[in-house]
Structure 1
Amino acid sequence: MAAVDLYTIPLRQIRGVGAEKAKELDALGLHSVGQLLEYYPFRYEDYRLRDLTEVKDGEKITIQGTLYGEPVLSVYGRSKSRLTVRLMTGGRFLITAVWFNRHYMKDKLTPGKEIVVSGKWEEKRQTIIVSSSEFPEAAGDKARTGTLQPVYSTAEGITQTFLRKVIRQALVQFGDKIGEVLPEELVERYRFITRKEAVAVLHQPTDAREGQAARRRMVYEELFLFQLKVQAYRLLNRTKADGVPHKVDRPKVRDFVRRLPFTLTHSQKQVIAEILDDLEAPHAMNRLLQGDVGAGKTVVAAAGLYAVITAGAQGALMVPTEILAEQHKASLERLFEGFGVQIALLTGSLTDKQRKDALAALQMGLTDILVGTHALIQEDVFFRNLGLVVTDEQHRFGVQQRGILRRKGMNPDVLSMTATPIPRTLAITAFGDLDISTLKELPKGRKPILTYSVTHDKMDRVLGFIRQEVGKGRQAYVVCPLIEESEKLDVQNAIDVHVQLMQAFPDLRIGLLHGRMSSQEKDEIMTAFKENQVHVLVSTTVIEVGVDVPNATLMIIYDAVRFGLSQLHQLRGRVGRSELQSYCVLIADPKNEIAKERLKVMTETNDGFEIARRDLELRGPGDFFGTKQSGLPEFKVADLVSDFEVLEQAREDAAELVAEPRFWTAAELAPLREFLNRDVPEGGEPLD
């Protein structure tokens, strides 16, 4: 694979790149010719000539014309200027061209001279605000007219002009050394242009059609190579007997399920069966359980934990917050009542003695399930026989944190749970080394939450709604984006809203919950709310995940446009947790189309997967996951929203190829095997 050789050629081999420029390129993460050639533009400036009859108001255009009359220069302020000149274009349109702060152009604008100008077209004023211009007779082979100019991400000291020049030179010197990466059969099947052509065209397209063919080819290649790595990693781990085959007592597990105070949904039963099969298999389970808010993931995890206990091992449940850890412990104790399962809690707020006792019981095997926060991964935590690790809201933990917990046992089985539904295709990409299970239905008897969007001036009606629900014996959450007043942000804060609601409802008990409170204060207020001693709980987003109070039927969210769609859906999911009709009221004054669209989506659907899909479209995959900890790959050309069909196809092709024995032996596929070992999936090991 000739392309691999380019990664070993330093940038200084390119004519025009000295030590200083190589150092500046290094700041962009570019160390070799191969990396430079794969540093693709993120957009193009279109300098192709257009007729004014095709152009809409506000569009950027490039037109050619003849200077008509003398230019006029007006100076204002200390150093600002406006230069105007009339321009005859198309032989029939007389328009005005305007340059701001480029007074030096005046002497060049000679009447009768041909000029090409690019800029924003203002139709009403028949004016073009010029961003760049050139004279065809003087531009020669450096002319931009008629071209699509690449626009790259730059850094200090690196200009667009230099990047374009150095990449153009790299293509001249090393373009012929760009070898094929994809197997010949795939290139022929999809009628791709060659890799050499595609790389050159992405940097220097001559027209949109050519650019589309190059992008189509490179999108597939990028997604195929990523999936090849994922599928090979999965296959090799599937064939490795790296786990512990647990002897699960299935009759005991069936008895546990039978004695639950509710009937499991079909998908809950199906996922439990998948988990039991994984626990009994010789390879370590690595499964992602995703389900909508309230879909019943906890009881599925409990069945898995009980199964591993019947096999003589221990379980661990790691969650992101202390509130959630305490809630899960209480939920598990209710589910396992009468089963003799010993559950312990490990969080940062335990006293030294409590912590010491908990660790001793764990190490001696007296504890069956340990529930806790990241305190579980500290060095002095030792299990006697850890068999199953469950992480809740797994995207909140980095790959490294999950890996540390896994190393607390002999490669235990891992079940990762998330209530942030992820579109299937994106889940395949972001968590490609995991098997994915989905809970599709909500428990029987749950009613859809009715969601309304109102502006801030309707607050009296919202207060009336709170009074109405509390009058029925129900409870309400009121969520604010901030804890206290901010000079920078004009949004409601929890402390002020708490005071306002106490004044509005002097006869009701209004609670306050936020992240700066001590663990004991949080516990006390949550206990009071669960026991209906608090009617209205004013909170920040600390109640976003996992808090379960079935009697709460009303969720009020202040300044709802400050939250992402998935976060709004999580907050809404704190109500609707019983057969009672529940409501969500979003208070917002949307200032732009995206904000309006978010509110519209929330009022139209309760489906978390549909909301996640729309959130992804509005925000893009990087913002959707929030952090790089998710392991979401960054692609150079591919886009996970618009290219999801290509991703599915690339996944199928990669899985098919690595499953063939010839993939591991055929000489013509050796370059792909070399690629696999160039780097490995995050948290993985070399594939050989």
Structure 2
Amino acid sequence: MMISLDQISVKQIKGVSAPKEQELHAFGVQSVADLLDYFPYRYEDYRIRNLADAKDGEKVTVLGYIRGVPLLQRYGKGKSRLTCKIEIDGWLVTAVWFNRHYLQEQLTVGREVMLTGKWEQHRLQLTVSDSEFQGGSSESSGTGAGGKSAKSGTLQPVYSVGGSITQPWMRKTIRQALTQYETMIEEVLPHELVQRHQLMARREAVRHIHLPEDAKEGQAARRRLVYEELFLFQLKLQAYRALNRKRSDGLALRVESEWIRQFAATLPFELTDAQKKVVNEILMDMRRPSSMNRLLQGDVGSGKTVVAAMALYGAVRAGHQGALMVPTEILADQHMRSLQKLFGGMGIEVGLLTGSLTERKRRDVLAGLQMGIIDIAVGTHALIQGDVFFRSLGLVVTDEQHRFGVNQRSVLRRKGMNPDVLTMTATPIPRTLAITAFGDMDVSTLRERPHGRKPIKTYWVKHDMMDRVLEFIRKEVDQGRQAYIICPLIEESEKLDVQNAIDLHIQMQQAFPQYKVALLHGRLSAADKEAVMGAFGANETQVLVATTVVEVGVDVPNSTLMVIMDAERFGLSQLHQLRGRVGRGEHQSHCILVADPKSETGRERMKVMTDTDDGFEVARRDLELRGPGDFFGTKQSGLPEFRLADMVADYEMLEEARDDAGELTGQDDFWTNPSYARLRALLQKDQIFQGEQLD
């Protein structure tokens, strides 16, 4: 059997000593394959430029002739400034070197020199960072045959380096690795995909990404390697999905369509077409013997809760239990009340399990779950404690899933025998992100507004217009409506000059002595939070000053005004979530953003919020502004870290890679044909065949 590059130690490369080998290990580079896949993150442009085309302040590489005697000035301790007149493209330019007095001897009149540095056009001065002299002398390492430096007139790769691993050493070592092992680089993509997308061969792409002749060649190499990276990632997810659908170790829940129709008939409103479609998708999954793994994403107020309730109802009618895990106790309590109302008179028992239950109540709930007396458990992280057991858990629903870590979700799943899993989020996820982070899931989307819901009108005002904002609040409350006022901090901070909830609460009490003004923040006890929200829900309180504890799920249809103080302090998705707390009743709702953003990003956020109230468009713009890593927290979401690919810039290729991987794994030929053996070996290496859920 032929040895592969991932089996050859990096120490076999000429010039890699034992200490250097250890330093490379710290970078995750163990083998020759690892080193060749250690791609540059940008290039330094050492191609010769004409000064007439260069911009002031730009870094340039130019060719010139020494026309003056060098002048050396020494100052400070060991510091020096070396200047010399150089003729470049018909201009007489002053070249300046700092702390390189040793070059003085080489600056002889008439000699040709190649210089790289910062061009200051108004002073006709070049501050030099690199020099190469005719006859082979160079101040940087890496001089090649014929006396020319390895970087002369080229694009040079820039790698992530540190310690004693320098850029010149890394460049030289990767060149050496290519010299020794380039012929052993094997193709990993199927021939038909290379042809379909007109990609470079892998061997050619690896060489050209490290040593591009020009920008076009480097871009073509990157395109090939980005596609490969995305395809191999998607292949794992699509192979898992294909195998999971063939498995029969889940629960095939016998949910009758008639039950669901009867339940829908009891609702005080008509389901939207989108809700009907999504319910059908979920029920089809629940009836299969393989366990469901579906993401339900919908804009704020799109009616996800009733869809989840119908799925839970189906699971209970089929003889099993359901669990609904949410991130906060306020939301858990609200969901429990909503479900009790929806299931009123149907004989379905809903239990609440949160950290603030008394020991006695907790024991009663645990016993009820274990004996099957409680049909549906609604709770926070308390649901995944070691002493929580279900009689027969058939369906797990997690709401606002990105607030739970990967391990927390999988622990809840293991409370049953491969139960169906429905994951919900009110943070609409751009398709690009959904098919990356949730590539192993089926995705259902609610984009339609429930009947009768009006779009929320959004305004951006500066702090000096606060009097008008207070007048607007007064007008709404006088008509019997209610208002939220949100601010970023609980108490005053010396570090941040932003509104804080405690001070703002006092100010609002003074501004509206005729109204009840309440305060809600995360440091209140669970009982106090419940009391505050209960009073607001019953319209005993007209104005609620709060932190972002109300961001998710709080539902008070009579509240029609959301005022967000220091709105530039919040991310786009968070602003949209907060806005979604209003607009839930029959009356026109408004959102007022009070902000004086100093940054361009802050101003852009305000513009996006006033331009659209479509959560999917907001999410797309948020992804562009923030990047995927921050979209909902890389650590929590399990987002992959790609070597080359960028989920925003490369979204078209990501979709192509996903479609290609899905098409390939859906064919019986993929699992048996020898030409796909290498891809199957990669899947085997990643334990795709072990049957573990991909979280």
Q: Tell me which of 228, 242, 250 is aligned to 2:235.
A: 228
Indicate whether 1:349 and 2:352 are aligned.
Answer: no
Indicate whether 1:114 and 2:112 are aligned.
Answer: yes
| Shift of residue 81, structure 1, vs aligned partner | 6.2
What corresponds to 1:93 in structure 2?
Answer: 91
Between 359-368 and 30-39, report the one with greater CA deviation.
Answer: 30-39
Question: Could you tell me whether the CA contact under 8 Å between 2:393 and 2:419 is conserved in 1?
Answer: yes
Indicate whether 1:37 and 2:44 are aligned.
Answer: no
Distance (whole Å) between structure 2 residues aligned to residue 205 and residue 229 of structure 1: 31
Q: Tell me which of 255, 268, 271 is aligned to 1:248.
A: 255
Distance (whole Å) between structure 1 residues aligned to residue 334 and residue 45 of structure 2: 57
Distance (whole Å) between structure 2 residues aligned to residue 471 and residue 249 of structure 1: 49
Report 1:124-135 matches (<5 A): 124-135=122-133
Q: Tell me which of 299, 306, 319 is aligned to 1:312.
A: 319
| Shift of residue 523, structure 1, vs aligned partner | 1.3
What corresponds to 1:274 in structure 2?
Answer: 281
Helix, strand or coil at the partner of 2:545 = strand
What corresponds to 1:7 in structure 2?
Answer: 6
What corresponds to 1:366 in structure 2?
Answer: 373
Question: Could you tell me whether the CA contact under 8 Å between 1:27 and 1:155 is conserved in 2?
Answer: no
Q: Which amino acid aligns with 1:211?
A: G
Distance (whole Å) between structure 2 residues aligned to residue 47 and residue 340 of structure 1: 77
Distance (whole Å) between structure 2 residues aligned to residue 93 and residue 555 of structure 1: 63
Relative distance call for 1:363 and 1:625 in structure 2 (3 A) is: same
What corresponds to 1:168 in structure 2?
Answer: 175
Q: Which amino acid aligns with 1:27?
A: A
Helix, strand or coil at the partner of 2:608 = helix
Distance (whole Å) between structure 2 residues aligned to residue 313 and residue 30 of structure 1: 50
Q: Tell me which of 680, 687, 692 is aligned to 1:673.
A: 680
Distance (whole Å) between structure 1 residues aligned to residue 76 and residue 583 of structure 2: 61
| Shift of residue 235, structure 1, vs aligned partner | 0.7
| Shift of residue 316, structure 1, vs aligned partner | 0.1
Helix, strand or coil at the partner of 1:341 = coil
Distance (whole Å) between structure 1 residues aligned to residue 155 and residue 51 of structure 2: 19
- Say how many residue pairs are matched: 685
Q: Percent identity?
A: 64
| Shift of residue 394, structure 1, vs aligned partner | 0.9
Q: Tell me which of 517, 530, 533 is aligned to 1:523.
A: 530
Q: Deviations over 1:638-678 (max 9, x none)?
A: 22112222222222222222222222222222111101112
Relative distance call for 1:395 and 1:162 in structure 2 (3 A) is: same
Question: Could you tell me whether the CA contact under 8 Å between 1:399 and 1:683 is conserved in 2?
Answer: no
Distance (whole Å) between structure 2 residues aligned to residue 505 and residue 111 of structure 1: 83
Distance (whole Å) between structure 1 residues aligned to residue 690 and residue 385 of structure 2: 19
Helix, strand or coil at the partner of 1:119 = strand
Question: Could you tell me whether the CA contact under 8 Å between 2:322 and 2:395 is conserved in 1?
Answer: yes
Question: Could you tell me whether the CA contact under 8 Å between 1:134 and 1:143 is conserved in 2?
Answer: no
Q: Deviations over 1:578-634 (max 9, x none)?
A: 122112222222223222222111110111111111111112111113123312222
Distance (whole Å) between structure 2 residues aligned to residue 683 and residue 548 of structure 1: 43
What corresponds to 2:390 in structure 1?
Answer: 383
Q: Which amino acid aligns with 2:438?
A: F
| Shift of residue 112, structure 1, vs aligned partner | 4.1
Q: Which amino acid aligns with 1:39?
A: Y
Q: Deviations over 1:145-175 (max 9, x none)?
A: 3111111223444322332222222222222
What corresponds to 2:472 in structure 1?
Answer: 465
Indicate whether 1:153 and 2:160 are aligned.
Answer: yes
Distance (whole Å) between structure 1 residues aligned to residue 370 and residue 675 of structure 2: 53
Distance (whole Å) between structure 2 residues aligned to residue 306 and residue 351 of structure 1: 28
Question: Could you tell me whether the CA contact under 8 Å between 1:544 and 1:571 is conserved in 2?
Answer: yes
| Shift of residue 305, structure 1, vs aligned partner | 0.2
What corresponds to 1:177 in structure 2?
Answer: 184
Q: Tell me which of 379, 402, 409 is aligned to 2:409.
A: 402
| Shift of residue 503, structure 1, vs aligned partner | 3.2
Between 69-78 and 415-424, report the one with greater CA deviation.
Answer: 69-78
What corresponds to 1:49 in structure 2?
Answer: 48
Indicate whether 1:420 and 2:427 are aligned.
Answer: yes
| Shift of residue 304, structure 1, vs aligned partner | 0.2
What corresponds to 2:506 in structure 1?
Answer: 499
Question: Could you tell me whether the CA contact under 8 Å between 1:399 and 1:682 is conserved in 2?
Answer: no
| Shift of residue 476, structure 1, vs aligned partner | 1.9
Q: Which amino acid aligns with 1:194?
A: A
| Shift of residue 93, structure 1, vs aligned partner | 2.2
Report 1:235-634 matches (<5 A): 235-634=242-641
Relative distance call for 1:563 and 1:360 in structure 2 (3 A) is: same
Question: Could you tell me whether the CA contact under 8 Å between 1:201 and 1:211 is conserved in 2?
Answer: yes
Q: Deviations over 1:2-43 (max 9, x none)?
A: 7x8222222222222223222222222222221121111111
Question: Could you tell me whether the CA contact under 8 Å between 1:80 and 1:101 is conserved in 2?
Answer: yes
Between 24-33 and 125-134, report the one with greater CA deviation.
Answer: 125-134
| Shift of residue 77, structure 1, vs aligned partner | 7.1
RMSD: 2.4
| Shift of residue 100, structure 1, vs aligned partner | 5.0
Relative distance call for 1:528 and 1:97 in structure 2 (3 A) is: farther
What corresponds to 1:21 in structure 2?
Answer: 20
Q: Which amino acid aligns with 1:269?
A: K
Q: Deviations over 1:404-439 (max 9, x none)?
A: 111111110000001111112321121111111000
Distance (whole Å) between structure 1 residues aligned to residue 682 and residue 408 of structure 2: 28
Relative distance call for 1:95 and 1:466 in structure 2 (3 A) is: farther
Between 78-87 and 53-62, report the one with greater CA deviation.
Answer: 78-87
TM-score w.r.t. the length of structure 2 is 0.93
Question: Could you tell me whether the CA contact under 8 Å between 2:399 and 2:423 is conserved in 1?
Answer: yes
TM-score w.r.t. the length of structure 1 is 0.94
Distance (whole Å) between structure 2 residues aligned to residue 664 and residue 428 of structure 1: 23
What corresponds to 2:142 in structure 1?
Answer: none
Distance (whole Å) between structure 2 residues aligned to residue 299 and residue 86 of structure 1: 78
Q: Tell me which of 191, 198, 201 is aligned to 1:194.
A: 201
Q: Deviations over 1:506-532 (max 9, x none)?
A: 333322222222212211221122222
| Shift of residue 53, structure 1, vs aligned partner | 2.7
Question: Could you tell me whether the CA contact under 8 Å between 1:677 and 1:686 is conserved in 2?
Answer: no
Question: Could you tell me whether the CA contact under 8 Å between 1:479 and 1:541 is conserved in 2?
Answer: yes
Question: Could you tell me whether the CA contact under 8 Å between 2:312 and 2:322 is conserved in 1?
Answer: yes
Helix, strand or coil at the partner of 1:677 = helix
Between 10-19 and 328-337, report the one with greater CA deviation.
Answer: 10-19
Q: Deviations over 1:151-204 (max 9, x none)?
A: 122344432233222222222222211111011222233332211110111111
Distance (whole Å) between structure 2 residues aligned to residue 602 and residue 682 of structure 1: 45
Between 598-607 and 676-685, report the one with greater CA deviation.
Answer: 676-685
Distance (whole Å) between structure 1 residues aligned to residue 586 and residue 500 of structure 2: 31
What corresponds to 1:59 in structure 2?
Answer: 58
Gaps of 5+ in 1: none
Distance (whole Å) between structure 2 residues aligned to residue 474 and residue 281 of structure 1: 47
Distance (whole Å) between structure 1 residues aligned to residue 356 and residue 304 of structure 2: 26
Q: Which amino acid aligns with 2:627?
A: G
Q: Deviations over 1:336-365 (max 9, x none)?
A: 122221111111111111111110011111
